[in-house]
Amino acid sequence: MSQAESTAETPAILSEVNPAVLPRATLVKNNRSFSWITEKICGIIEGKTPGWWWVCFGLAGFVASWTVGGIIYLVATGVGVWGHANPANWAWDIVNFVFWIGIGHAGTLISAILCLLRQKWRTSINRAAEAMTIFAVVCAGIFPVFHVGRVWFAWYLFPIPNSNYIWQNFRSPLEWDVFAVSTYGTVSVLFWYVGMIPDLAILRDRFYKAGNKTRSFLYGLFAMGWRGANRHWSNYEMAYLVLAGISTPLVLSVHTIVSFDFAVSLLPGWHTTIFPPYFVAGAIFSGFGMVLTLMLPLRSLYKLEDLITQYHIDCMCKITLATGTIVGYAYGMEFFIAWYSTNPYEGFAFINRAFGHYAWAYWIMISCNVITPQFFWFKKIRENTALVWILSIFVNVGMWFERFVIIVTSLARDFLPSSWGYYSPSIVEIFTFFGTFGVFSVLFLLFIRFLPIMPMAELKAVTPEADPHAGHDHH
Amino acid sequence: MAALAAKVTGNAAVGRLAKGLEFKDQEKWLDACAKDLSDHRGECLVVAGAHQSAQVHALAYAINAFLGNIGKTIDFVEVPESAAASLSDLSAAAKAGKLDTLVVLAGNPAYNAPADLDFSGIANAAKQVVRYGYYVDETSALADVHVSATHYLESWGDARTADGTVVPVQPMILPLFDGLTELEVVARLAGEADVDPYQTVLETVSGISSGSKSDETAFRKFLHDGLIENSGYKVVQVSYDQASVASLFVEAPTYKALSAENLEVRFTIDHKMDDGRYANNGWLQECPDPITKISWDNSILVSPRLGAALGIEPGGAAIQVARKELSEFKQGKENAFMAEVTVNGVTVKGPVHIQPGLSNWTVVLPLGYGRKVCGRVGQGTGFDFYPARTAANQEFATGASIKILAERFLLANQQEHWSMEGRDIVREANYLGEDGYQKNPNFVDSFGIESHAPANLGKDKDMPLADVASKTPRGNSLYETPDFTGVHQWGMSIDLNTCIGCNACVIACQAENNIPIVGKQQVMRGREMHWIRLDRYYSDGKADGGAFGGEGNKEIPEDPQASLMPVACMQCELAPCEVVCPVNATVHDEEGLNTMAYNRCIGTRYCANNCPYKVRRFNFFDWNDRPIDELYLGPIAEKGMPELVKMVKNPDVTVRMRGVMEKCTYCTQRIQQAKIAQKSKARDSANIIIPDGTIKVACQQACPVDAIEFGNIKDPESAVSKAKAREQDYALLGYLNVRPRTTYLGKLRNPNPKMPDYASLPLSRVEYNNKNYPAGHSFDQGHGDSHHEAEAHEDHEPEGHTSFMKNALRTGGLS
């Protein structure tokens, strides 16, 4: 510290310069202790299943049966039960696939990228977000597998020995999808699981102490002998960091590969280089929308306001706003480039989106994706949880429509007007899609019932109690 | 005709017969037409349609005679006079109670005899009705005895062509079902006790060829050649007799002006159903009508003017981004209004379709649909308009009226959009004129993005076709391109000038390649399986180039030019479908074919999405294995192809299951057969190249005008290489650099500049220019930057820009 010369009068320069203490948002309100956190999170699992859970589970199961039935009918009868036809050979199936995969990206961003960026606020939401990712990938995966005409040969997509000695076509984006999505699923599950090990150990020990040997055994199986030893912790931290490092590029690459399904083709409206960053931004946008949709009710139902604070909601809203603005910019840029290129097919594709047959879908997309997130500029709105929840639903509706507009309008009216047609979904398609929300809900409800919805270990690390300098005013 | 005759012959008396004739610029039209005819005496021809009256035909012959065409462009042949009585005579006999046994040998008079003759009454009046027919139909329903006929391909017989040449009818197989051949029945009716059809034909042919009773050599030659030389009708010398023609015109015709209340009805036999005999033929039902593109039904055709008057034009959007459709399309299905047409005191009902180019107050009623007693396929297809057709008015009638009903009917229209939207799809030019073919034979090169972008082949753009086909030059691109190493490189050229859009290629392909029919419901969903399709575009020069809205987009063309284009898999050298198939189910072979491995295809349909021509077809259901009316029942529907259907299939071609993509293969089975045959013939020599013309692919074989040329483009002397060497050769969507092996020859029109409806540019060209050169700068063939100049200075009218644009604008709109 520099010492200025003391003079008789008040010196122009202060003798000691102390930077102002900027208040950091407390990530855990009300000074909750470690044990409070443990009790809160484990209490959800140890307690009796709440009535609302059963109701939701029953409903979710019923909705999930739509997908099961729809898929069985589809495979038994043929792709014709859906609404596809020339020229729209992809429609709701691929829209749904991209929709669900996109949603998953928020979880990975929260878990991995925010981890590497040392954003401590991620700790209360990352477990549930990562679970959301995995279940979204499951729902997404249904579509590329079952949309094919001959599902029983879907294994042709994988490079395993076959009697025809034919290799897969590695120039095809669909083949890249196979690797991207399977990698994404695998790494996400690994990351989620490895992160859960200390928490599963806590549950194992608690159940053991409470005398519930069966549950203790089951949790213990997955806890892999965790003793909380120093070596365990250091290995854990390293593994976590490595997995975070692996997952980070996946956030960008997986949806980039998915966007290549379109960008690599030659269709006007699909064949643009803006797709990778545009899709990734859109994915994160829709993912955060889904995180908000899931976490806000959970927060109220389980009284987790101290762990998921307004600061958390603020951060999520701001990321939603940022990515939503990027998406809005991408819409504008696409349109500009289509005009600037003077390519008649390209120009028509965009005019047609805004004013053609599917104009209604286009304007839903614009209002939900461009206008809705702009509300998050305002603090008053960010603090209104109910409003945030409603807006998050609009975000996802808008993102579904974005994929619909991209896929269906570009196919419906392409190069040769003689092939122009109109696509509309069939009942089977509609029910199969809405059923996937049931599948997702079933999995998510099982998750919140049986697994720790927040990483207790990481949360404890950000409570005031964990701060070694707690009590000092400055750091 | 009368007015024209007056002009040509200069005989005003004849002109007085042309009462009530009124069309725009009438005098000018007649003058120009008459002058054109007169300038080409002995080289021109005036023909009257078969449906016209004797008087009209007489006038046509008068003109021909006057112009000296008889013996030069038109010959008359002597046709043996028919001693047969007419249906009217039969009706009279029935009414008089003179009918004992009625034997119906052919046709389906219960269905398509003129309604006022009341065939069912005739049949009831007879004591016994015997029907000899291939199908059980409406006439069989009235008969007491139905004698099953064999198919003509199961029978011995003979026939005469239109010009009278005698041709054989030869059986290909023994009758599948028990039946009697035509000769067996007719000969017995003629009194012969013992009938051997083969003998009968042998004797007849021997008699004609050599005058003997039995000439085996002549008969074998007859079967081999397929005809008897010079057995046609003989040309006779005729002369025009003014007096006897004048005797036809004793009464001046009465004429009442046509209007929305006084419509003319034209009965036409359907292009596919004929007089109704093919109603149970699934291929023909599913084949789209060449012009309306409607399948599985007929419809009442009205003109755009009448449609507007009746209020059935579709609404259109506030901002019309493309031309308005001809009808409201509800989710891809044409949602037609039902209407009632009353003519000759009879009312018939049917769906209405607006037909551009139809004369304002004429309504067309296509016949041949709405059969009542018909097989499974033809049941419930279309509407029967025969009840409105009387003996006196078999071809057309006047005094009709039409009433639109509230009811709607969904039609399976296979082509929703009719306009090229100013895109360079069919490239056309006039023969004469500023931008015509004569002055600019390379007119196709001034179209499209390729016309002002660097050549696809870059530095190799002048490489000969044979080399391009095998080396696939990169053209300075970084992308690796395959080398095609085969001894043949297959290519195809389709001449848009000669193509008449008849759809014979569509059916030939269906027959050759085991393409299934899918039924009306699935066609409405857009799932028809035809590998080759005929695109039909109308151009009226009014397509609006404006990006948003566009008043020009809100009109349905009243007097368009139609352009037809057959589109099948182009077998692109740099196929976009091959890149995107994840399992390598579609790959290129060494001879340039884009092959489809059905057993590898898992049906992701990415290839179909990436095909810019949209020629790939997906098997959405088990079209072959399940009945097409039980598709949605899935596994509980009946399984298996009926035996008879199996026999239809070509054994050389795979029958595809559901979930598999298919498309035109350039008849690879025929190519393989020819290659094998050639190799067998070559033995040890290296002479394995198939001679040009040995292989005819199915569409090429069936094309009545030889518009399709197919062969080896590695051989510069082959017919297809010569076709591709012509200046009008272009690739559809060539700028995409997919390098299609099927290219087109641009279309030429040759309008008479003196005619009042002359358009100095084909209307599709006018639309193309409106869209792409809205500033109307002077048109520069093979230009570079002047195009951009126009874009940059949109409100700047270049000094002395040609009057072509003004001209186009003036003549582009006709009425």
Say which residue, A436 or A120, is predicted with more confidence. A436
Q: Is the CB of B612 less than 8 angstroms away from the CB of A264?
A: no
Domain membership flag for residue A260: yes
Picking from A73, A177, A419, the nearest residue to B634 by CB comes out as A73
Picking from B527, B537, B772, the nearest residue to A80 by CB comes out as B527
Q: Which residues of chain A lie closer than 8 angstroms to B657, CB-CB?
A: 150
Determine the distance in angstroms separating the CA of A153 from the nearest CA of chain B, rounded to an integer.
6
Q: Is the CB of A80 less than 8 angstroms away from the CB of B620?
A: yes
DSSP E strands in A273-388: the ranges are: none
In terms of CA atoms, which chain B residue is nearest residue A143? B604
pLDDT at A293: 96
Q: Which residues of chain A lie closer than 8 angstroms to B331, CB-CB?
A: 422, 424
Q: What value does the mean pLDDT of chain B take?
A: 88
- DSSP tag of B133: E
With contact defined as beta carbons under 8 Å apart, do B280 and B374 qualify?
yes
Please say if the pLDDT value at position B503 is more than 80.
Answer: yes
Q: Strand, coil or helix: what is B74?
A: strand
Q: Which residues of chain B lie closer than 8 angstroms to A171, CB-CB?
A: 579-580
pLDDT at B17: 60
In B425-444, the residues whose Cβ lies within 8 Å of chain A are 425
Q: Is the CB of B631 less than 8 angstroms away from the CB of A79?
A: no
Q: Is B3 on the interface with A (CB under 8 A)?
A: no
Please say if the pLDDT value at position B799 is more than 90.
Answer: no
Picking from A149, A157, A416, the nearest residue to B658 by CB comes out as A149
Question: Which CATH number does the domain housing residue A127 bear?
Answer: 1.20.1630.10
Determine the distance in angstroms separating the CA of B468 from the nearest CA of chain A, rounded to an integer.
23
Domain membership flag for residue A365: yes
pLDDT at B20: 56
Please say if the pLDDT value at position B97 is more than 80.
Answer: yes
Q: Strand, coil or helix: what is B84?
A: coil
Determine the distance in angstroms separating the CA of A126 from the nearest CA of chain B, rounded to an integer.
35
CB proximity list for A386: less than 8 A, separation 6 or greater: none
In B128-167, the residues whose Cβ lies within 8 Å of chain A are none
With contact defined as beta carbons under 8 Å apart, do B608 and A86 qualify?
yes
Exposed e or buried b for every residue in B751-777, given b needs 16+ CB within 10 A?
beeeebbebbbbbbbbbbbbbbbbbbb
* Residue bearing tokens 């016309």: B451
Domain membership flag for residue A31: no
Please say if the pLDDT value at position B779 is more than 90.
Answer: no
CB atoms within 10 A of CB A362: 21
Picking from B415, B528, B582, the nearest residue to A168 by CB comes out as B582
pLDDT tens for each residue of B102-151? 999 989 999 999 999 999 999 999 999 999 999 999 999 999 999 999 99
Q: Please compute Rg for chain A using Cα positions.
A: 25
The residue segments making up the domain with residue A226 are: 47-160+168-459
Please state whether B20 falls in left (phi above 0), alpha (psi between -120 and 50) or beta.
Answer: left
pLDDT tens for each residue of B519-545? 999 999 999 999 999 999 999 988 766
Picking from B580, B602, B617, the nearest residue to A150 by CB comes out as B602
Q: Which residues of chain B lie closer than 8 angstroms to A425, CB-CB?
A: none
SS (H, E, C) B408-442: EEEEEECCCCCCCCCCCCCCEEECCCCCCCCCCCC
| Mean pLDDT on B586-599 | 93
Determine the distance in angstroms separating the CA of B569 from the nearest CA of chain A, rounded to an integer.
14
CB atoms within 10 A of CB A128: 24
Distance CA B205, CA A69 (A): 68
In terms of CA atoms, which chain A residue is nearest residue B584? A169
Q: Is the CB of B579 less than 8 angstroms away from the CB of A79?
A: no
pLDDT at B12: 59
Q: Strand, coil or helix: what is B339?
A: strand
Determine the distance in angstroms separating the CA of B373 from the nearest CA of chain A, rounded to an integer.
31
What's CA A65's distance to the chain center, in Å? 24
pLDDT tens for each residue of A184-222? 999 999 999 999 999 999 999 999 999 999 999 999 999
With contact defined as beta carbons under 8 Å apart, do A456 and A199 qualify?
yes
Picking from A168, A347, A355, the nearest residue to B583 by CB comes out as A168
Q: Is the CB of A87 less than 8 angstroms away from the CB of B604?
A: no
Domain membership flag for residue A315: yes
Q: Is B608 on the interface with A (CB under 8 A)?
A: yes
Q: Is the CB of B658 less than 8 angstroms away from the CB of A421?
A: no
Which helix (H) or strand (E) element contains residue A58?
A: helix A51-77
Please say if the pLDDT value at position A93 is more than 90.
Answer: yes
pLDDT tens for each residue of A128-174? 999 999 999 999 999 999 999 999 999 999 999 888 888 999 999 99
B617-618 and B263-269 strand pairing: unpaired
Domain membership flag for residue A30: no
Total domains in the fold of chain A: 1
Best A165, A172, A345, A410 residue to mutate vs chain B (most B CBs within 10 Å) = A172
pLDDT at B781: 38
Pick from A311, A251, A249, A312: nearest CA to A282: A251
Q: Which residues of chain A lie closer than 8 angstroms to B535, CB-CB?
A: 416, 418
Q: Which residues of chain B lie closer than 8 angstroms to A175, CB-CB?
A: 582-583
CB proximity list for A313: less than 8 A, separation 6 or greater: A292, A296, A382, A383, A385, A388
By mean pLDDT, which of A129-138, B51-60, B87-96, B469-478 is the weakest? B469-478
Q: Which residues of chain A lie closer than 8 angstroms to B600, CB-CB?
A: 156, 164, 166
DSSP E strands in B657-781: the ranges are: 661-662, 708-712, 729-730, 742-745, 747-749
Determine the distance in angstroms separating the CA of B577 from the nearest CA of chain A, rounded to an integer.
9
Domain membership flag for residue A99: yes
Distance CA A112, CA A45 (A): 26
In terms of CA atoms, which chain A residue is nearest residue B735? A343
Domain membership flag for residue A51: yes
- DSSP tag of B194: S
Q: Is B511 on the interface with A (CB under 8 A)?
A: no
For A289, phi and psi rounded to 5 degrees? -60, -45
In B554-573, the residues whose Cβ lies within 8 Å of chain A are 565, 567
* Amino acid at position B498, single letter: T
Q: Is the CB of B619 less than 8 angstroms away from the CB of A355?
A: no
Q: Is the CB of B660 less than 8 angstroms away from the CB of A149?
A: yes
pLDDT tens for each residue of B628-658? 999 999 899 999 999 999 999 999 999 999 9
Q: Is the CB of B322 less than 8 angstroms away from the CB of A417?
A: yes
Determine the distance in angstroms separating the CA of A142 from the nearest CA of chain B, rounded to an integer.
14
Domain membership flag for residue A4: no
Q: Strand, coil or helix: what is B461?
A: coil
pTM: 0.90
Q: Is the CB of A149 less than 8 angstroms away from the CB of B617?
A: no
In terms of CA atoms, which chain A residue is nearest residue B329? A422
Q: Strand, coil or helix: what is B562?
A: strand
Which helix (H) or strand (E) element contains residue B354?
A: strand B346-354
Q: Is B622 on the interface with A (CB under 8 A)?
A: yes
Determine the distance in angstroms separating the CA of A74 from the nearest CA of chain B, rounded to an integer.
9
| Mean pLDDT on B552-556 | 84
Give percent of chain B above pLDDT 90.
66
Q: Is B547 on the interface with A (CB under 8 A)?
A: yes
Determine the distance in angstroms separating the CA of A394 from the nearest CA of chain B, rounded to an integer.
27
Q: Which residues of chain A lie closer than 8 angstroms to B621, CB-CB?
A: 77-78, 80
What's CA A296's distance to the chain center, in Å? 15
In B633-652, the residues whose Cβ lies within 8 Å of chain A are 633-635
In the structure, what pLDDT confidence band is assigned to residue B798 with cuts at 50, 70 and 90? very low
CB proximity list for A414: less than 8 A, separation 6 or greater: A87, A267, A268, A345, A349, A420, B612, B614
CB atoms within 10 A of CB B813: 18
| Mean pLDDT on B763-772 | 88
Quote ipTM for the complex: 0.91
Q: Is the CB of A90 less than 8 angstroms away from the CB of B772?
A: no
Distance CA A426, CA A82 (A): 5
Determine the distance in angstroms separating the CA of A168 from the nearest CA of chain B, rounded to an integer.
5
SS (H, E, C) B481-523: CCCCCCCCCEEEEEECCCCCCCCHHHHHHHHHCCCCCCCHHHH
Q: Is the CB of A81 less than 8 angstroms away from the CB of B632?
A: yes
Which helix (H) or strand (E) element contains residue A174?
A: helix A173-210
| Mean pLDDT on B493-518 | 96
pLDDT tens for each residue of B205-218? 998 888 888 888 98
Please say if the pLDDT value at position B276 is more than 60.
Answer: yes
Q: In the structure, how many helices (H) and strands (E) does chain A have?
A: 17, 0
List the strands of the sheet with B145-148, edge to edge.
Answer: B101-104, B128-133, B145-148
pLDDT tens for each residue of A13-31? 878 888 888 877 888 888 8
Q: Strand, coil or helix: what is B744?
A: strand
